[in-house]
Structure 1
Amino acid sequence: MRFRAPSRTPSPSPVRGKPRSRPRKSYAFGVPPDSSDEDSYSESDSDAVSVSSSSSSSSDYSDLGKAPSVRLRASLRTSSEQRYIEETVAAIRLRTRHHDPYEEWERQTRRDAFRTARKEISETQAHLLDEIDQTHAQEKKELAALYEKQLAEVQTQLNTFKLQQENEEAKLREGWKARDRMIWERIESVIKLEEDKVAKKLEEERKAQEEKERKRKEEEERKRLAEEKRKEEEERKAKEEEKKRKDEEDARQAEEEKRSKAEEEERQAVEEEKLKKERQEAEGEQRSGLGLSTAEEDWREARSNLLTLKAESMRFVKSNKEAKAEWSKYRRQITPKVGQLTNDADSINRISLQLLNIMKPTKPHHERIYIALLSSLSKAILEQAETEVTAEKRSAIPLSQVTVNLFSVLDSFPEIFFAKLVQRAGGWVIPVVIPQTDHDGRPWADEQERNKIMGYRKSATSDNLETPIEYSMRVSGIMRLYFHILMIPPLERPAYKMFQLPRFWVWFARLMGEKGLLETVAAPQLIYTGLDVMGTQAKAIWGIQWVKILALIYEGVTVGLGNGKLIGGESAEGSVNRTRARMEVERIMAER
């Protein structure tokens, strides 16, 4: 492609005009006379200078070469002529330095044409290069597709050859196996035939020898039996006397060991109880100042609230026909609502509002009926935890949220709910070993009453009390609900002291000091439950202090505590629960 500058237009340049004509005059020596015509010549000469081109500068300078001859004749000119000459020279110099706008426009036009041409060729080259790149890319894509297709065809052919080869090899192997089998069958048949002949002959000889040997042995056996019978009779009498003497000695030693062990355990228990009381008395003033309480005080308070609930509200409701009818009507509405709860915000809010309407209708309940309904609500929630949470641990999340929602709007509900917790889980909620007497100092009527206070219920599979495994699984569901409640911050008013977050720390600290609880099957199960719910958050809250608790737990489930006994005892179920607790501690410590 060729480019050229645009042709000159016929129009004149911006400043170029038609030159004015002037009559030529001739003067002596080329100088006009001193007259008025000098001024008109100066003006026309100035116009001429303004429209001249730069190309005439060379001829102007050639004319100036004659200046010396003019100077030679200067003495011959008058002052006016001399002045005119000087002015003429000045005008010529001015004309040679004149700037022509047309020529500037022409140069600018050429530069613009060059820039336009360069831009067009750049765009054309870029477009051409893009097309070349696209063509190359398309060719590469087509070559790659062709290569893939050829590779697939080759691979298919190779697979076909391989399959044919494998089939041929399989046929050859089967042929060789059949041939080997036939040869070995022939060999085995010949060997068996010879062996049968030899075996038959040997069998005949053996039977003859056995018959002879049998007769000899029968005679010897008869004599031996008679001798052994005599010796056995003597040994039996001696052993009976020795066994009688040894049994008496073992019984005496066992009784002695049992009495010593019982005395030692009683002594240790008395010593631990004494140390515990001394420690509690020493810390009593400080606890009172801080508003803290001991595990025994927490248990007595919950037990007292439970008995007060039964003696006042429940007795009143069950003895009054109208109150019982109203209580039964609303109680039957509570359980289905709790059973409909699912783990989503709409369901939690809806069930919370429905339960609130049951507990606080437009016409308020009688105070004792209200308290009895709070007890029924607590029982429904806890029974749901015992069944649903044990089967699916995530169901404790919505159940705990509804419970906390109701804590903030139902008066006395936290106290009654905790009393029912202690009723169904025994001392594990606090935790504490159930004492030998009631909160008022009354001894238990029998061991059965104490087991009931410890939270044991009738077994679902028999008429007896539930086994330790069933007990630990049921209490685990209740404690999972309790730990989830501790995680949830109160909505409006401060939480009841037994449902505040520090109770999680208190629970583990107290449990690690109760050897009587740590040796049960339920201990490692409940430790695992607590760590699974809130172990990681506790590490973030209490830091190194919580790590110390975890180290103590890890020691208890691996090598044993100070007395060398493992948490959970020696049973198989305790071993399984210890493994869970150990793995949960390792998981928490592995997290950053």
Structure 2
Amino acid sequence: MVASLSTQMMGPAATEGRDDAPRMANVARRRPTGRYVYDSSDEDSDEDPVSWRKVPSQAPARYTTEDFDSLDELEAHVDQSADLDAVRLANELDPWELWEASCRRKAWHPIRHRDEARRRSKSSVARSDDHSVQEIASLLSSFQLQQKENERIERESFNQRNSVLWDGIEQAIRDAERRAASEAEQLSNARKKQEQAELEAKQAREKELARIEAEKQAAAQEEARVKAKQKEDEQLAKEQKKFNAMRGGKHLWPVCKEEYKHWQAEMNIIKTEILPTIASNQAWRKQCFAAKRIITPKIGQLTNTKSEIQRITTAIHNVLYEAKNAPDQSARRYLYYWMMNHLVKCLIRQAEQEVAARQDTAYPLARVVLGLILLGHSALGDVFMARLVKKCPFVLGYVPEKPNDCDDTTYRKYLGFRTDQEESTQMYVSRLTGIAALYFACLQTSLTSIASCIELPPDTSLEKLSKDVPLMLQPSRLWIWQVRGCTPPVAQYWLFPSLWCTFLEIAGVAVQQRYKRQASKLSSLILDQGIRNQQLGPPNATKDNEILHAARVRLQLMLEAWRSTNSLVGYASQGRDME
């Protein structure tokens, strides 16, 4: 609103030539024509402070908003000016008017100074802008110079690095070439060495092949010699067979009797030398009893597992090894044989009790015996057989003869009966078949299975260690026992049908696998002649003998099942394989 009023009060001349900053317009007031009014000039003017001049007649006064602080003040001033114009018409000079004119001039002075300052400021800003442009241009120029200098330095640095890099590359190439030459030389030397080694190996191989060929020829010659000898032996065996056909097998008795006497003598040495010597020495007896406390529970804890067999065999081996290598050399033999004798007693006692009830428990006992023999205790085989023959002489396929000067009690002891307590026939049969089962289990057990569960001595082979196994515990005794067991008068002893049942249950499968057709012929002989023709057992036996009759029926069922299936697996005892 103030702006519109100001525009109406200002003439065209008032707006022409205006600067950006607002200026105060000259206030022209009407004067009466031909009248003189009081006016004051600028304080900077050279004229007198008070001058009289004639003011021509002018157009109505026009004002701007810059002359007043508010619109109300402007309207009041317009009314006042109208009143003053009316007073001037009286052509009188009023001191108030003079003072007002003086104040107006004074008011115009700072306005002009402000306008002048604005003009100078604009000029200064313009000059400052020009100076800033020059400074910026100068700064840009210095930046460009600095950039060029930096580029020059970077270019020189790059060229230097590039030169160093290429020098390094060339040096690396030279080094690689030197290394390649060195490696080629080394490779050539290695190739020459390899060719030399191959040549030497070839010569050694040819030499070895020649040696092997010579050994093969020697082996072939030896084999031919053995075959010739075998053929000769077979021919002699045939002739001997023809010769023995009319003798009824009694020619076997001298050999069996000699074996029986040998083991009786071995047992007598233990009874007369080893046991009394230990009993008379308190220190040795103390050591033996300490070993006894270790051995006895171990046999009772034995099961048919690989880990248990290994554990118990190792524990007993350690005890025997300490006795065998005792510091006191005079005590070694006595301590060693006493402990082996006690071990065999524990094994046979276990066979009489456990094996009689469960035949499969004979296998782990047999594995412990053979394992200890493979570990270097070959003397255990002799002690084992001596006590085994004493308890059950029928393991030899032999029935002891009654001496002329022997009473019945002593003879019954020879036959394995107990003389210290009453024993029924059934208990006797059960106990002796248990002992026989232990022996048969030793004969049928493979040494390979034993070697798999024990730690063999270093730098030894199973073939070498097998030579330490006594002949009486080798598998060949299976055939010897069968031959003796079906030959009169041994086959006619009343206990042998029960022993045959135990033999087939424990070792029948191994016999069939080892002897094949010969074993089949022998089984057929027992079935046809021994059972059906009643030649196995006492000739005049009656059905009142329940034990003999039960054994014959049991053996007949086994052999008839074998004949129909060509196998004894169905009647074989469990435990041939370790768990």
TM-score (norm 2): 0.48
| Structure richer in helix, relative to its length | 1
Which of 1 and 2 has higher RCO (CA within 8 Å, sep 6+)? 2
Give the TM-score normalised by structure 1. Answer: 0.47
